[in-house]
Homo-oligomer: A and B are copies of this chain.
């Protein structure tokens, strides 16, 4: 039996030192059928060339990372963020991405409840355009340790509460093992997410954790029950790509070829 990589996707931040073109070519060389693209890398490459490279390589784009980051102190700044989200929706449409990931961003003062209400308003403001462009939005709950600096959305239950006001094929969630593995409500909430899981991302949680952002580990090097969570996600009907997204200096310092080999090996062994 040959190894099955038909569900594997490389989130390109895992090979952060590669350009988008290098990451696309790496996926093609390694038989990885999909890629998660970051907007900063997309901007360097240009949208039209990027879309052409992806097509020519026969890849699918599992996610565009990322929209969101909605909040700012002034109405003008918030409007600029909404405009930027509409550009992200255009890019996701052009790339035919399975989902635009929404990292909703932090508040700008101590009132986290107000921040959450403003995030809901912002999603309501961009959802009609996403529907028009046929782009699925995946609200990503981040880990509560970054509630103050990256996302006021921190649990799957909360993300689902926000998503359920919309059709399931328009607004759903991005399930990332690193962010949600600790949650006592994890399995009931994954079940509740049926039909709304627009992206599934994996990495591992090392002990001790070296950093709140750069501390992610390769699958197998941490404590997350990756197989149990995948099984629950698939039990909720998810049939999309499984994207490996790792921010980790040591992995970034590997030659890209080696990072992909390691990722494939660990994917088979642990995911």
Residue numbers of A with Cβ under 8 A of B are 110-112, 116, 143-145, 147-149, 154-155, 157-158, 181-185, 205, 207-209, 212, 222-225
Q: Measured between C-beta atoms, what is the minimum distance from A181 to chain B in Å?
A: 8
* Known pairs A110-B223, A143-B144; A182 contacts B154 (CB<8 A): yes
Please report whether the interface of chain A is mostly helix, strand, loop or mixed according to DSSP. Answer: loop
Number of copies of chain A assembled together? 2
Q: Measured between C-beta atoms, what is the minimum distance from A29 to chain B in Å?
A: 33
Partner of A182, one of B144, B185, B208: B144
Are the CB atoms of A148 and B110 closer together than 8 Å? no
Are the CB atoms of B157 and A184 closer together than 8 Å? yes
Chain B residue with the shortest CB-CB distance to A222: B148
Partner of A148, one of B157, B207, B212: B207
Chain B residue with the shortest CB-CB distance to A161: B184
Q: Apart from A143-B145, A147-B182, A148-B205, what 5 extra A-B contacts exist at CB < 8 Å?
A: A111-B225, A116-B184, A148-B182, A148-B223, A154-B183
Residues of chain B contacted by A207 (CB below 8 angstroms): 148-149
Residues of chain B contacted by A222 (CB below 8 angstroms): 148
* Known pairs A209-B212, A212-B209; A112 contacts B182 (CB<8 A): yes
How distant is the Cα of A183 from the Cα of B111 in the complex, in angstroms?
13
Are the CB atoms of A209 and B158 closer together than 8 Å? no
Residues of chain B contacted by A155 (CB below 8 angstroms): 183-184
How distant is the Cα of A185 from the Cα of B185 in the complex, in angstroms?
12
Contact sample, A vs B, 23 pairs, CB 8 Å cutoff: A110-B224, A110-B225, A112-B225, A143-B144, A143-B145, A144-B144, A144-B145, A144-B182, A145-B145, A145-B212, A147-B181, A147-B182, A148-B223, A149-B208, A149-B209, A154-B182, A154-B184, A155-B184, A157-B184, A157-B185, A158-B184, A208-B212, A209-B212
